[in-house]
Amino acid sequence: MKPVRINNMSVANENVVTQIPGKKKNKHGRVWIAIIIIIMAYLFAPIRTNLLILGTDYLPPRDLLSRSDTNILVTIIPWKPYVGMLSIPRDLWVKIPGVGENRINTAYFYGELDKQGSGPVKLIETLRSNFGITLKFYLVIKMTGVIRVIDALEGVDVILPEPIGGLTAGHHKLNGIEALAFVRERYSADDFSRMKQGQILLKAILLKLLSPGGWIRIPAVFVETLRLIDSNLPFWLVPRLGFALMRVGPMGIDNRIITREMVNPFTTSDGAQVLAPDWETINPVLKDMFGE
């Protein structure tokens, strides 16, 4: 009987031994499937992220405080994917919480005047109360720092279908100083043209970064970007938004501006020439782009 028992035990043991590798493989497979699901959910979850990009006119030592001469509302939905940019005129006349009516570009100024570093928060409060958009993230760009970023890229290329920003129609390769002059040119352009120029430059930077020739310059650009940007955007969100942007591509961005047809120019009692928003024409654009 003993040999029989030994054989039975041996058979049982052999079955156990042969089953263990399979269990390990199944366990490892489930782990990898879970990891893939988490990554896919992170990258593609249909959660909208709204972001304010603002550029200041800070020029030390001339200006101790600055205004936000560039104001761009950005919305990103990774699932679609969709990236939209809406530029807001700096002279738009709005209600600034705790201040009263004034140009929208002064909201940043009053925030900084109250407490250094609170300018972006005050501008976000202003945008939320006037535009009704869910917004909490910001990215502040010091316009003079754009020079270093573009030089780190060894210039950017812009192709203009018509003369704008002091440049003729056609292809132009701009260094940092030339790019800043283009986006801030005031002699032949008004505020509406400058908003277009800002978006053209932003697209040119993204196009260069996403090109094979721009990849090798990303480390240098990253270093310069850290110097010129102030943001409350969580680091964990950056890869998700960056991946959505790569899927859309610079030419796939839905870029719009608040146009002349969406505002009513008027002169304040103090003699300032400003733009009153026509909400009947602006709200449909907000609904289309931001879903609010």
Of 6-10, 44-48, 209-213, 276-280, the poorest mean pLDDT is in 6-10
Place of tokens 């709005």: 94
Q: Are residues 144 and 246 in the same domain?
A: yes
Q: What range defines the domain where residue 40 resides?
A: 1-44
* Region 93-105 average pLDDT: 95
What's the structural domain count of the chain?
A: 2
154 — phi, psi (to 5°)? 60, 40
Q: 45: buried, middle or exposed (CB in 10 Å: 19+, 13-18, 0-12)?
A: exposed
Q: How many CB atoms lie within 10 A of CB 256?
A: 16
Dihedral of the CA atoms 281, 98, 191, 68 (nearest 10)?
A: -130
Q: Are residues 141 and 208 in the same domain?
A: yes
Q: Are residues 84 and 221 in the same domain?
A: yes
Tell whether the model's pLDDT for residue 264 goes beyond 50. Answer: yes
* Region 183-205 average pLDDT: 82
Please tell me the predicted confidence (pLDDT) of residue 12.
Answer: 47
Query: Who wins on pLDDT, 82 or 66?
Result: 82
Q: How many CB atoms lie within 10 A of CB 275?
A: 23
Q: What is the pTM of this model?
A: 0.79
Q: Are residues 125 and 257 in the same domain?
A: yes
156 — phi, psi (to 5°)? -130, 155
d(CA 242, CA 236): 11
Of 5-9, 192-196, 234-238, the poorest mean pLDDT is in 5-9
Tell whether the model's pLDDT for residue 144 goes beyond 80. Answer: no
Q: Are residues 78 and 144 in the same domain?
A: yes
Tell whether the model's pLDDT for residue 228 goes beyond 90. Answer: no
Query: Who wins on pLDDT, 198 or 65?
Result: 198
Q: Is 267 helix (H, G, I), strand (E, B) or coil?
A: strand
Q: Are residues 27 and 136 in the same domain?
A: no
Tell whether the model's pLDDT for residue 96 goes beyond 90. Answer: yes
d(CA 32, CA 44): 18
Q: Are residues 27 and 161 in the same domain?
A: no
- CATH number of the domain bearing residue 116: 3.40.630.190
Q: Are residues 200 and 186 in the same domain?
A: yes
Q: Are residues 39 and 53 in the same domain?
A: no
Q: How many CB atoms lie within 10 A of CB 144?
A: 16
165 — phi, psi (to 5°)? 65, 30
**What are the beta bridge partners of residue 72?**
53, 87
Please tell me the predicted confidence (pLDDT) of residue 119.
Answer: 92
CB 87, CB 98: distance < 8 Å = no
Please tell me the predicted confidence (pLDDT) of residue 61.
Answer: 46
d(CA 102, CA 20): 73
Query: Who wins on pLDDT, 67 or 178?
Result: 178
Distances from the Cα of 87 to the Cα of 35, 122, 134, 161, 185, angstroms: 38, 18, 17, 20, 17
Please tell me the predicted confidence (pLDDT) of residue 23.
Answer: 58
Token digits of residue 125: 């409060």
80 — phi, psi (to 5°)? -65, -50
pLDDT, tens digit, for every residue of 21-77?
A: 555 557 667 777 777 777 777 677 768 999 999 988 655 544 556 788 889 999 999
* Region 194-212 average pLDDT: 86
What single-letter amino acid sits at 48? R
Top-ranked range on mean pLDDT: pick from 16-25, 80-89, 198-207, 239-248 = 80-89
d(CA 95, CA 269): 16
Query: Who wins on pLDDT, 144 or 147?
Result: 147
